Amino acid sequence: MSGSDVLGRLSFRYKLPLALTITAVFTALVVGAVMLAYAYVNTRASLIDHAESLAAALVATARPALRNDDVWRAYTMLSGRTLDANESGSKRILLDDDYTVFASNRPDRFSVGRTLEADSEFAELGGWIRAQGVPDEPVVVQRGLVDTHLVLVAPVLSEQIAVGALVIAYPRSQLIAGFWQLVAQGGLAIAAILAILLPVGWYLGHRIASPLSQVADTLSRFGERRPEQIAYFQPAPSDEIGRLLEAFNEMLAALREKAALERQVIASERLAALGRLTATVAHEVNNPLGGMLISVDTLRRREPDNPHVQHTGALLERGLGQIRQTVSALLVQGRMEDRDLDPSDVEDVRTLVSSRLDRRQARLEWDAEIASSLPVPATAMRQVLINLLLNAIDALDEGGDWVRFWMEHGLERLDVTVDNNGRAIPAEYLDRIFEPFTTMRAEGTGMGLWVTYQLVEGLGGQIEAHSNNGSTRFRVSIPLPSDQEQAINERN
């Protein structure tokens, strides 16, 4: 498995924080390295600066000390504690014009009257000064002469003639120790910065990445769940991710709508197919049924005294009558020649259902604003209203105590809403509620809503059912024919 595969597979939830972390660490290291390099150069430069200004100050005192042969004065000047409090390891040596030590701050090592060559570490430097002569101005000697020290040689001039030389040497170990101290300090500072940056980076990265991974997770579940089972995302700020979530929400809404539409289409197609099937079957059953009833009647008339015929004939008549009843219930005639719906029809319905409601001690809220007759077939419409109201009242079995009826019309539609707060209809029933023989009650025939549906279809209207925790609602919407249509209908 190659590295890029691993990286490619890694969740954004980790990839982004990781990227931020790596960036922070890398930046900190680069900045730290640059600062340290700068600090090293700077430390060295400031040490040289320091040595030069120290030399300038010391040379002014060294001149009279050399002239007066005043070793003590030179010594106190070179060993002055205040000159170089920080550089305890530094060496300051005043050479006279014979290149022998006139005084030094380390008389135990560079003793008066000896040459630098007597010291193994500074021997080469001594040889170099002797061969070269005292330089005209302060010079930092090349590293090879004294490996272990950073050395400045400054002339002590009297009227342009060198009467001595001042050697100032700082141990490189001190420079390096100072540098490592800087490294340690820098390292600490970087660690402190990272200690802040890393959690912040991790948090930010996580925050940016987590909506993305949620979207990814949700999208991957689309196959196994229905759109309405998938939750919308909370609105986010309008950056790219916010727009993504918004688009996702829009898509989810469209999918939900589409799914609902599909279910509706499937349900109505199924109902239509069922309608055609039942009509055909009913017709096929009805045709021989009429003949069979006439035959039984004829047989019973011919043999009035034969008890066996009479008995069997009566049995056949009752059975065939029940078949005809069932078949005629299946064969709903939507468009029937009928009178218009009248306000009194609605009042009749109210009277009919009220007695049933009283028995259950439930409340009926009634709001029907029908002022005059409406061009809707009265019998069919009465049947629809009664069916819906009786269903609603039956649903009150489990805890419900009210039914609300609401009827209103405009110029184009008549709308009826029937609500109850009784037993809810489970989702699996809701899809098939208008199919025949679908019932939730033990004693129900499952024909009521089928008939209602057929009637509404026949009237060119729509019916829908909703049920949730609190209440169940049926809505019926019937188109009212325009005056023109009405005129044509009447002529027919």
The verdict on 64 binding another protein (CB under 8 A) reads no
The verdict on 434 binding another protein (CB under 8 A) reads no
Binding segment for another protein (CB under 8 A), chosen from 65-73, 338-346, 353-361, 377-385, is 65-73
Site string for another protein, 14-53 (x = CB under 8 A): ----------------------------------------
CB of 112 to another protein, least distance (A): 4
Of residues 447-486, those binding another protein (CB under 8 A): none
Q: Is the dihedral of CA 176, 181, 183, 184 positive or negative?
A: positive
The verdict on 108 binding another protein (CB under 8 A) reads yes
* From 16, 28, 62, 75, residue interacting with another protein (rule: CB under 8 A): 75
The verdict on 166 binding another protein (CB under 8 A) reads no
CB of 76 to another protein, least distance (A): 8
* From 69, 250, 297, 303, residue interacting with another protein (rule: CB under 8 A): 69
The verdict on 107 binding another protein (CB under 8 A) reads yes
Q: Do residues 402 and 365 touch, judged by C-beta distance below 8 A?
A: yes
* CB nearer to another protein: pick between 72 and 492: 72
CB of 72 to another protein, least distance (A): 4
- Count of chain residues binding another protein (CB under 8 A): 13
Q: Is the dihedral of CA 246, 251, 256, 258 positive or negative?
A: positive
CB of 79 to another protein, least distance (A): 7
Place of tokens 């019926």: 476
Place of tokens 């020290």: 149
CB of 86 to another protein, least distance (A): 21
CB of 69 to another protein, least distance (A): 7
The verdict on 307 binding another protein (CB under 8 A) reads no
The verdict on 81 binding another protein (CB under 8 A) reads no
The verdict on 70 binding another protein (CB under 8 A) reads yes
The verdict on 72 binding another protein (CB under 8 A) reads yes
Binding segment for another protein (CB under 8 A), chosen from 37-45, 69-77, 165-173, 217-225, is 69-77
* From 16, 55, 103, 456, residue interacting with another protein (rule: CB under 8 A): 103
Binding segment for another protein (CB under 8 A), chosen from 29-37, 101-109, 298-306, 455-463, is 101-109
Of residues 112-141, those binding another protein (CB under 8 A): 112-113
The verdict on 98 binding another protein (CB under 8 A) reads no
Place of tokens 């409406």: 374
* CB nearer to another protein: pick between 84 and 419: 84
Binding segment for another protein (CB under 8 A), chosen from 4-12, 81-89, 102-110, 450-458, is 102-110
The verdict on 71 binding another protein (CB under 8 A) reads yes
- Secondary structure (H, E, C), the chain: CCHHHHHHHCCHHHHHHHHHHHHHHHHHHHHHHHHHHHHHHHHHHHHHHHHHHHHHHHHHHHHHHHHCCCHHHHHHHHHCCCCCCCCCCCEEEEEECCCEEEEECCCCCCCCCCEHHHCCCCHHHHHHHHHHCCCCCCEECCCCCCCCEEEEEEEEEECCEEEEEEEEEEEHHHHHHHHHHHHHHHHHHHHHHHHHHHHHHHHHHHHHHHHHHHHHHHHHCCCCCCHHHCCCCCCCCCCHHHHHHHHHHHHHHHHHHHHHHHHHHHHHHHHHHHHHHHHHHHHHHHHHHHHHHHHHHHHHHHCCCCHHHHHHHHHHHHHHHHHHHHHHHHCCCCCCCCCEECHHHHHHHHHHHHHHHHHHCCEEEEEECCCCCEEEEHHHHHHHHHHHHHHHHHHHHCCCCEEEEEEEECCCEEEEEEEECCCCCCHHHHCCCCCCCCCCCCCCCCCHHHHHHHHHHHCCCEEEEEECCCCEEEEEEEECCCHHHHHHHHHC
CB of 108 to another protein, least distance (A): 4
CB of 107 to another protein, least distance (A): 4
Binding segment for another protein (CB under 8 A), chosen from 106-114, 175-183, 409-417, 444-452, is 106-114
* CB nearer to another protein: pick between 105 and 471: 105
Name the residue among 116, 229, 225 with its Cα closest to residue 165. 116
Tokens of 82: 């205040």
The verdict on 58 binding another protein (CB under 8 A) reads no
Q: Interface residues with another protein (CB under 8 A)?
A: 69-72, 75-76, 79, 103, 107-108, 111-113
